[in-house]
Each structure stands twice: as structure tokens, then as C-alpha cells.
Structure 1
Amino acid sequence: MKLARHQIIMLVVMIFGTFVTVLNQTLVTPALPSIMTEMNVDAATAQWLTTGFTLVNAIMIPITAYLIDRYSTRNLFTVSMLIFTAGSALSGWGPNFPVLLAGRLLQAAGAGILMPMVMTVLMLTFPPERRGSAMGLFGIVIAFAPAIGPSAAGFVIDVYNWHVLFWIVVALSAAGIICAWFALKSTPKNESKNLPLDKPSVALSTIGFGGILYGFSTIGSNGLNIADAAITLVGAIVVALFFRRQLKMDRPMLEVRVLANRKFLVGTIIGMLVQGALLAAGILMPIYLQSYLGYSATVSGLVILPGAIVMGAMGPIAGRLFDKHGPRVLSLIGTSALTLSTLAFAFLGDSTGLIYLTILYTVRMFSLSLVNMPITTWAMNALDNSLMNHGTSVNNTLRQVAGSFGTALLVSISSIATNMSAGATDPVHAGIFGVNMAFAGATVMCLIGFVLTVIFVKDKPSDAAEADPDNVKRSVLESIMKRDVFTLPESATVFDAVKLLVDHHISAAPIVDGDGKPIAFVSDGDVARFLSKRHSTYTDPVALIMLTESSSDDFAVKAAKVMKMRAYDIATHGVISIDVHTDIREACRVLGENHLKKVPVTDEGQLVGVINRSDIAHYSMSKYLEQNESELTQAAATA
């Protein structure tokens, strides 16, 4: 079904606003060397423009849920964009570093509200059959903005200056505000979820996380001293008080109890380590290329560009690989490649080539894409349905916080190493040494992630059952899946497959091994592809009908030959299946991301059923009618 005109307009406006805020996050790193020179600040101070932004984003995530329930969509979107635009204008003016930083933090407050709000509104506004289109476009934009950001920023900096970057963002944001006011409907606030905002929790999280971050950063600039150490210690104590308060509250701002689940805790820690190493590299690379090797901001952006494109493109691909191979293989390959590529960055010199840097950075981003999605999905799958929303909030918040802390820590390592070697060598080589030491620290973080993956991330069939101790997910899936599964043995011929498909009026069937485990999937499309005259090209099953009408001896010979082949040889291998304990939402993700109509259901590896998209659709509709029957009946009677 096509989207309605007003839905398309709303989708475009909200995605445009999100695009501007995501683009803004990637514009600053290429500008850091220019900002450091103009304002006479070191890297440990300048990195606050990124880490401070990320930290405020993290603090705003749990607050946004409260705001969404309290205010209408149009008003909240407009106010968040106004805050973001005000911060952009303040940064564009930026006569000194404190004003520039204040503008960045104001930007972060607006962007921190906007991102989760847009995702929530898209899911609530669009019906299930249209959410795929909306979220697909949203995902493309989110991947596209970081890809073009550094290159575009580098060009603007070289032709004009970094101030112009923020004024461009101001113009784009203002356009988004004007369009939103006319395009978005003023939906009423949700009175049924009038939850209070726990102000002490907001204060504790802000003071605690901010104190630790400030301590890390100032130690990098000023060295270890009592005052900064005391601020860091106080921040850590306040964070402990924040977590203690969350555990005592019936409705906490951040449901940290989900961390009691070991798999979720391990997955979150690995994600935090990866996020810290990722953001730090984005700051260190432009400084290395521009300040120490003398390249332009445009060149700096172009070096990063291929890696950003690869990471964006790998999102859906990593999802499909996860569904086929599980989390362990992908995360092991990803964390090992990430560790090795990060280690290679610890040996940069003053003559390192641009092509080598570009390839190495791209490999690093590729390996990150093999870690992020599988580890996050593995962690979330370990939680009960009732904790999914809380798990998402905790995971996102802690990853953002870890990105801030990791960046501050690694940039501080770089600054300390640079200052220590300044007396023994020239400033350029001292700076490169500092960058190398920072990447060495990042290597240690990645290595810890690799070790945790080796020890804890497993592909055990019992994992899904452990996450569903009361068989709640299992009972739902078993109630809607089809148990009369028609399978083929591994030795079956194509003729056997065709007869099975025709006799039972089905379009595909799994092939199982001697233990009853699915190893391939053969469909009418596979048969048609091998019977077509150009059998290297995929053809629709309708082609089979057209070909059987032909009296060509060539077709008859080919058909006789194909029918004697093993069905396994023409089937699709690497069957994507789901466990019988899988949550319905996860089943929807597997079907949607892999463009499947049906997927086998297994119990400890054994095939027990098949679930179709139509099964889930009928289940969802019946549950909706069941929950809203009284309201619908009353509305019909009134009409």
C-alpha cells in the first residue's frame, strides 16, 4: 500500500529534521584542528565539543520519554528544533571556546529530544503495514548523513571557515521548523501516561557523568592534580548514588535492573567499549591528518568517507548475516578485525600514505558493523518482553556515555603522551606519538571486547529458552505457527521437490538433514531459475508456466536433466530460522529485513513449524480487536 499524501509530507519533514541533527554531529570533527588553532586550545579541551554533545544526548534519552507523553508532536518537534537552531547560531557566532561549547551543548539538548521522538512518532503514526517504508527511509537518511558530513565539512572549512558550517545548519534547521509548523498535526498529549519526571535523578545523572567526564578531560590538559582527581571521584560517587536511587524507585528514570541479566550486561559492556573506541578515532584522525601531516580538511574528510559509506551499507547486510550465522561468528570476526586494525593505527608515522590510511580506516569501520548490530541484538534478545523498552533505553544511554568517556580518556592519553615526549623531539613527532598512544589505548579497549566475546557470546540453542523461562514467547509463537511442515530429505531430487510443492499447494519447503535440522530451502523460484533458457538469470515462477507451454525439445531435455538433480544443489543454503522462544517482534524483524514470506521455527535445532507473515498479521489484528472491542463497539453504536 502506498503512503497517503499527508503521511509522506510528515515523513519528509521529520526525517529532514533528523538528517540535519545527525549531519551536525559529523561536521565538527574535521573542524577541530582549525578551532584548536583559532582559539588556542589543546585536543583535550577541544574534544569537549564532541564528548559534551554526546553526554548531553545520553542524559536527554530517558527525559524524552517523559516529554513525548506530556506534549503534542508538533509542539515538541518545533521546540526541540528551536533549541537546536539557537545552539547552532550560538556556535556559528562562537567568539571564544566557552561560547562555542555552550552552543554545542544547546544543540545536543535539542537533538537529544528529536531523535527518539521521531522514531517513536513514526512507529505510532504509521500502521504496521506501512512502518517498513517509513523506517526504511529513516534508516537510509541516518546512514547517509554521517557519510557526507566529514567531506562536506572539509570542503566548507577549506573554502570559507568553520563558522560557516554552523550557519548552514542554522539555515537548514530554520527551514525545517517552518515546514514542520504547517505539515505536522498538533496531536494531543497522552493523558493516560502522565508520569512524573524525577528531577533528583536528572540532577544526579548530569552532575555525576559530567563530573567524571570533566575530570578525565582536565587531567589530559593539566596533568594529574588533586583538584581534578577530586572532581572525578565526586562524579563517580554521584553516579553510584544515581544508580542506587534508580534501584529503589518503582518507576525509575533509567531501569538499571535490566543489567542484572548477564547476557544483556556483557552485550552492553562490549557495545560501550566499541562506542568509545569509535568516537575517539573520529576525533584523532582529523587532528593527525591536518595538524601533523599538513593535509587540508577536505582531504581529511575524504579519507573518512569510504569507511562511513561501508558502515552505513553494512547495516542491513549484518542483520541478514546475524540471522543466518548467529552472534558468535560475526562478533568474533568483528572484534578481532577491530582489534588488529586499531593496533595498526598505533604505528602511524609522518610518511604514512593516504591510500593506506583510507583502506585501514575502511576496514576498521567494516569490522565495527559486524560488532554493533549482532551484539546489540544478542543482548536485547536476552531480555523478557516487558523489559525490552527499558533495555533499549539503558543500552542507548550507556553507549552514549561510554562514547563520551572513551573519547575523553583516549584524547587525554594522547595529550599526556604528547606533553611527555615534547622535550625529546619536535612538536609534529610528539603529536604523532600521542596519537599512536591513544590508538594503543583504544586497542586495549577493543581487546577487552574481544575477550568478553570469546568467553560469553555463544550460539547455544538453549539461549532463547533461558531468556523465556516462563515460556511466554514460546506459547505465543506456537499458537500462530503452522505445525504441518512439509520437508524434503537431503537426498531428495528436484522431481521430489516439484511433486511436494504441487501436491500440497505450497511455494517452498525446507530440506532437512538426518537429524531433522533445516540445511536448505527450495522454492518454485529455484526450479524456474534452473529451467529457464538463461539459467544464470533469476526468473519468476511464472516463467516455468511459459516454458512448459513450449514444445521445444531443448526444454524437454533440460527439464529431464534438472528433475534428476538433487534438490539441495539448486536450493538456497544457509537457512534463516528462528527459535520457538523467539519474541514476535524479533520474528517480524527477521521476516522484514530478509524480505521473507515465511521462516522455519526450530526447537534446539529441530524443525517444529513454519511461521508466515500472514500468521503474524492475523494474530496482531485479532489481539487489537480483542483489546479494543468494547471501544469499537461503543463507537459503532454511537455512529
Structure 2
Amino acid sequence: MHAQPVDVHGKPYNRTIMIVLILVATFAGVLMQTSLGTAIPTLMDAFDINLATAQQATTWFLLANGIMIPVSAYFTSRIPTKWLYLIAFGLLWAGMAITAFTPEQHDMWWMFLSGRVLAALGVGISMPLMQVVMVNIFPAEQRGVAMGLGGLVVGMAPAIGPTLSGWILDKNHVILGLTISDSWRSIFYLPMAVLAIVFILSFFFMKDVLYTHDVKLDVLSLIYSIIGFGSFLLGFTNVGSDGWGDVKTVIAPIVIGIIFIAIFIVRQLHLTDPFLNVRVFMNKQFTITTIAVMMAMMAMMGVEMMLPTYLQNIHNLSALTSGLILLPGALMMGIMSPIAGMAYDKVGARRLALVGFGLLAIGTVPFMFLTADTPIHFITALYTARMFGVAMVMMPLTASAMSALPAAEANHATASNNTARQLASAVVVALLTSITQNIITNNKPSDALRTANPLSYGAKMIDASMDGFQVSFFIGFLFAAIGLVIALFLRKGKIIADETTDEMTKEN
């Protein structure tokens, strides 16, 4: 029987209730990343804005979230766990409320975006903090299960977001006796209610489980981090709309971001108490595992990002229907994440990564040959199989990365791992969007054909679109194949870092 867990003050606490509160609240927050995807047309009508402006609802959320993740390591080291979670939950709830109650006026769009940024700051704290807490409150032999539970949040919430919002916008619903209207505001009401309950309960059940120390804030590191990561992510975010040739909005921000990130890294290496300890990458196992996580993320996004567009543009499906088609895959990842975590505790990450990347690569091959007539149920089955592979890779690799370092370094390791994942997502989204759009543009029929022969124009336009989608899916396959090769360099068995030294032990 395991001993009663105690917090940093030596007082016992209920670990189960605390974990449930963390998972539920973080799920509600991560849900906000993608929940407005299917609401973009509704927002365009409500605020009288164009598509590019409406997309800022997601863009600015991801930007603020990406900037906050590197900063989270400092907050975790400085602020007691209970109060840091209360701050994160408070920011998230306040951001949701500001967004939900923004007046539907063109000149009030700034208020909507302000709420999105505020919510993103909360998620940027709570998501990496969740992983640090999991590493510290579970013993090393149960760390896989802990990270698997975290996978329910990291994996399922973004995938369910579009489906949930599409369902809400489809028609009125009655939940627990309350009528949820089909307004875009309703997307925020349910998460706000859940988060309010969690916030109140956190005063009683959230405990200080991470040791803090009086670390001085290095203002220059904070400035370099915000400018570097913010500018880099902004440049890649603009690629989809402006293309790679735009110096002002794409190339310049990316170059500026790289320069400031380099300056940031050099400064961290010379600080006695760094803002973000990039020395964690000197641990070979952590670095290899983090690169493998990036490949898994890019392979997953290679299909996940383009598939809804394929379903809507080629099969003429609604946003809700396309979201429902992908829902089994999201559920599969949610089911398999804890199971993969338990498997990691027994066999380590290498075997699971080889199997997962293998399934991911094999499951991606058929997507390279999709046509306009491919049956929907076949696409659902393929996508579900891919998400099975992603679950076999993502959580075991994340647990392995965290286990490769002592628990005392978990806050820096988590921030570094999540930052790398965020950068990988931004790069692959920009890469695939630009490549797909360029192929479609170069292969689409002439405008003259639209007037002369509309049917032929439509058929050729579908062919041009399919060429773009197929190349995008092929790139997703390449990332899975690269991940498979990288997995060969992972150490066999389960890796557990010595808590008193930098050495690692290996089980199995």
C-alpha cells in the first residue's frame, strides 16, 4: 500500500481529487485552442469582419500560448503550486468571460482578442505546470500512467474542440436542464461553468506540491524570450495567408525570432540561475526524445490539419460533419494514452515508439492516394488507426523525456519540451499550408475554362486540390518515417534519472 502523499509543508492531501481538478480545468483551457475553428463564419457575420481578421481568434491564442510556455518554468520555480494554479485558472476564466460577453460590434473586436490572449496566458501556465506536477507527485515507476492521464488533455481536447463547437452551433441543446443556444457565445459558457467550480474547489483541495525558491527574474531573458518566440511564431503563422515571399510579415519576423532566440539561449548558458535551463538539452536521451516528440507532432499535424479541409472542399461536408468523422480518432487517442502510459511503465519508450511510428507511417500511406471518391468510413478508419499510433508514441516519449532528468529539473524540462512541440506545430502548419496552396495555385485551370466549360473547370479544380492534399499527406509520412529512424537511437527499457546525480538507470 502506498503511503499517504504529503505536500511540501509535510501535510497529507488527497492526490486523486487534486489530479481530477487539474485535468478537468486544463482540459477546459486546451479546448479553447481549437474550439473556434468551426465558428469562424459565425464570427465574420457577427462582427462584420473578413476571414483573415476572424482567424486572429485562433492565431493570437496560439501566439500568446507559445510565448507563455517558456516563461512557465520561472513561475513554477517562484510561485507556490496552489496559488499559481489559482492565477492560471483565474486568467483563463476571465479571458473566457471577456470573450463571451464582447458586444457584437466591428469596433469591439479588440475586446474579443484581448479575452483570447488572457485565456491563452492561463493555458500557457496550466498546461506545462500539469506535466511538472505529474512528474513530482507520482513515483518514477508510475510516471508513465501519470503522463498518460495528461495525454487525455493534450491529445483529446484540441481534437474535440471543433466537433464540440460545431455541435453547439448546429442547434439549441438542453444540458442538465439548461438550454444552450446556438450562439457562438455558448462555446464558452459550459467551460466557464466547469472552471468556476474547479476554481472554488481548488481553494480546498489544491496543495503546494512543488518546492519553490527565491529566484530573481532576469528581465532581459524575459524580453528576449517574448520577442524571440513571439516573432518566430508570428512569422510562421503569417505564411498561410501571405506566402513565403512576404518580407515584412513572414521573413523578417522569422529572422528576428531566430536571432533573439539565439541571444536568449546564449544568455541562459551564462546565467547561474537561468530563466529557462536550456542545459537540459545536454542530456542526450532528453534531446533525442524531444526531437522524436517533434516528429510525432509534425506527422500528426501533416494529416490532421489538412484532412478537415479535404473533407469540406472535396466532399462538400459541413464543419460539424467533418469534425464528427475525426471524432473516433480523438477518442482513440484519449483511450490509448493512459494505456500507452501503463505500457511505458513496463517496457519503456523505445519499443512503443517503434511500434507507434511504424503504425503512423503505415497508416499515412493510404492518405497519399486519397481521391474525391474515397469512402468516408474508410477515411475515418484510417484516421483512427493513425491516432492509435500517435498515442503509442506521444505519451511514452513525453514520459521518457521527463524521466531522463531529475524531478528537480522537471519545470525546465517540461517548458523546453513544450516549447519545442509548439515550434514544431507552427513550422509544419506553415510548411504544409504554403506547399498545398502553391500546388493548387500552379495546377488549377485557367479562369477562361470556368466560363467556357464549368463542369470541366470544376473537375480540374478538384484534381488540383487533390494534388496539393496528397503532397501534404506525403510530407506527413516523411515525418513519421524520420521519427521511426530516431526511435532506433532511444535507449532500451525504461529510463529513470538518478534524483541526486545526472546519471540515468535503466529498467528491463
TM-score, length basis structure 2 = 0.76
2:469 aligned to which of 429, 432, 435: 435
Please give the alpha-carbon distance, in whole angstroms, between the structure 2 residues aligned to 1:370 and 1:185. 31
Which residue number corresponds to residue 112 of structure 1? 124
Please give the alpha-carbon distance, in whole angstroms, between the structure 2 residues aligned to 1:441 and 1:279. 10
CA drift of 1:57 comes to: 3.0
1:88 aligned to which of 66, 77, 96: 96
Q: Is 1:220–1:413's contact at 8 Å kept on the other side of the alignment?
A: no
Q: Is 2:293–2:394's contact at 8 Å kept on the other side of the alignment?
A: yes
Please give the alpha-carbon distance, in whole angstroms, between the structure 2 residues aligned to 1:326 and 1:111. 29
Amino acid at match of 1:87: G
Which residue number corresponds to residue 271 of structure 2? 249
Is 2:85 the partner of 1:77? yes
Please give the alpha-carbon distance, in whole angstroms, between the structure 2 residues aligned to 1:113 and 1:435. 35
Amino acid at match of 1:331: A
Please give the alpha-carbon distance, in whole angstroms, between the structure 2 residues aligned to 1:188 and 1:318. 26
Q: 1:91 to 1:443 in 2, by over 3 A?
A: farther
Q: 1:143 to 1:406 in 2, by over 3 A?
A: closer
Q: 1:344 to 1:100 in 2, by over 3 A?
A: farther
Please give the alpha-carbon distance, in whole angstroms, between the structure 2 residues aligned to 1:330 and 1:26. 28
Alignment root-mean-square deviation, CA: 4.2
Please give the alpha-carbon distance, in whole angstroms, between the structure 2 residues aligned to 1:49 and 1:21. 15
Which residue number corresponds to residue 304 of structure 1? 326
Is 2:69 the partner of 1:61? yes
Which protein shows a greater Rg?
Answer: 1
Please give the alpha-carbon distance, in whole angstroms, between the structure 2 residues aligned to 1:371 and 1:24. 24
Q: 1:279 to 1:157 in 2, by over 3 A?
A: farther
Q: 1:200 to 1:429 in 2, by over 3 A?
A: farther
Is 2:175 the partner of 1:155? no
Q: 1:334 to 1:203 in 2, by over 3 A?
A: same
Is 2:483 the partner of 1:449? yes
Is 2:248 the partner of 1:215? no
Which residue number corresponds to residue 534 of structure 1? none
Q: Is 1:217–1:412's contact at 8 Å kept on the other side of the alignment?
A: no
Residues 72-116 of structure 1, C-alpha deviation per residue, up to 9 Å, x if partnerless?
555433332232123223444375676655433322101122234
CA drift of 1:233 comes to: 1.5
Q: 1:331 to 1:189 in 2, by over 3 A?
A: closer
Q: Is 2:88–2:122's contact at 8 Å kept on the other side of the alignment?
A: yes
Within 5 Å, which residues of 2 pair with 1:312-331?
312-322=334-344, 325-331=347-353
Within 5 Å, which residues of 2 pair with 1:584-603?
none
Amino acid at match of 1:336: G
Q: 1:348 to 1:197 in 2, by over 3 A?
A: farther
Per the alignment, in what secondary structure is the counterpart of residue 193 of structure 1?
coil
Per the alignment, in what secondary structure is the counterpart of residue 27 of structure 1?
coil
Q: 1:157 to 1:293 in 2, by over 3 A?
A: farther
Residues 327-377 of structure 1, C-alpha deviation per residue, up to 9 Å, x if partnerless?
444323322332233343333333332101101111111111222234344
Q: Is 2:147–2:341's contact at 8 Å kept on the other side of the alignment?
A: no
Which residue number corresponds to residue 370 of structure 1? 392
CA drift of 1:165 comes to: 1.1
Q: Is 2:239–2:430's contact at 8 Å kept on the other side of the alignment?
A: no
Q: 1:258 to 1:127 in 2, by over 3 A?
A: closer
Amino acid at match of 2:74: Y
Which residue number corresponds to residue 28 of structure 2? 20
Which residue number corresponds to residue 201 of structure 1? 221
Residues 498-540 of structure 1, C-alpha deviation per residue, up to 9 Å, x if partnerless?
xxxxxxxxxxxxxxxxxxxxxxxxxxxxxxxxxxxxxxxxxxx
Please give the alpha-carbon distance, in whole angstroms, between the structure 1 residues aligned to 2:207 and 2:342. 38
Aligned residues: 469
Q: 1:434 to 1:46 in 2, by over 3 A?
A: farther
Residues 355-407 of structure 1, C-alpha deviation per residue, up to 9 Å, x if partnerless?
01101111111111222234344545554676555433322221122223322
Q: 1:386 to 1:199 in 2, by over 3 A?
A: same
Which residue number corresponds to residue 335 of structure 1? 357
CA drift of 1:195 comes to: 0.7
Within 5 Å, which residues of 2 pair with 1:617-632?
none
What are the ranges of 5 or more consecutive residues in structure 1 without an aligned counterpart? 475-580, 583-600, 603-639
Q: Is 1:29–1:283's contact at 8 Å kept on the other side of the alignment?
A: no
Q: Is 1:259–1:265's contact at 8 Å kept on the other side of the alignment?
A: yes
Q: 1:270 to 1:52 in 2, by over 3 A?
A: farther
Which residue number corresponds to residue 594 of structure 1? none
Please give the alpha-carbon distance, in whole angstroms, between the structure 2 residues aligned to 1:80 and 1:47. 24
Moved more, 265-274 or 253-262: 253-262
CA drift of 1:209 comes to: 2.1
Residues 16-69 of structure 1, C-alpha deviation per residue, up to 9 Å, x if partnerless?
322321333342344457667884326xx8766556534533432343343345
Please give the alpha-carbon distance, in whole angstroms, between the structure 2 residues aligned to 1:129 and 1:326. 11
Is 2:50 the partner of 1:40? yes
Q: 1:272 to 1:59 in 2, by over 3 A?
A: same
Q: Is 2:144–2:396's contact at 8 Å kept on the other side of the alignment?
A: no
Within 5 Å, which residues of 2 pair with 1:321-400?
321-322=343-344, 325-380=347-402, 382-383=404-405, 387=409, 389-400=411-422
Q: 1:420 to 1:25 in 2, by over 3 A?
A: same
Residues 202-236 of structure 1, C-alpha deviation per residue, up to 9 Å, x if partnerless?
22222222222222233332231332322222221
Is 2:242 the partner of 1:225? no
Please give the alpha-carbon distance, in whole angstroms, between the structure 2 residues aligned to 1:188 and 1:322. 24
TM-score, length basis structure 1 = 0.62
Which residue number corresponds to residue 623 of structure 1? none
Q: Is 2:340–2:395's contact at 8 Å kept on the other side of the alignment?
A: yes
What are the ranges of 5 or more consecutive residues in structure 2 without an aligned counterpart? 6-11, 172-181, 447-456
Please give the alpha-carbon distance, in whole angstroms, between the structure 2 residues aligned to 1:10 and 1:374. 23
Please give the alpha-carbon distance, in whole angstroms, between the structure 2 residues aligned to 1:70 and 1:406. 34
Which residue number corresponds to residue 293 of structure 1? 315
Per the alignment, in what secondary structure is the counterpart of residue 252 of structure 1?
coil
Amino acid at match of 1:113: I
Please give the alpha-carbon distance, in whole angstroms, between the structure 1 residues aligned to 2:17 and 2:339. 29
Amino acid at match of 1:41: L
Q: 1:111 to 1:435 in 2, by over 3 A?
A: same
Q: Is 2:40–2:51's contact at 8 Å kept on the other side of the alignment?
A: no
Within 5 Å, which residues of 2 pair with 1:91-102?
91-92=99-100, 93=102, 100-102=112-114
2:291 aligned to which of 260, 269, 272: 269
Q: Is 2:132–2:414's contact at 8 Å kept on the other side of the alignment?
A: no
Residues 444-463 of structure 1, C-alpha deviation per residue, up to 9 Å, x if partnerless?
32232233334x2353x8x9
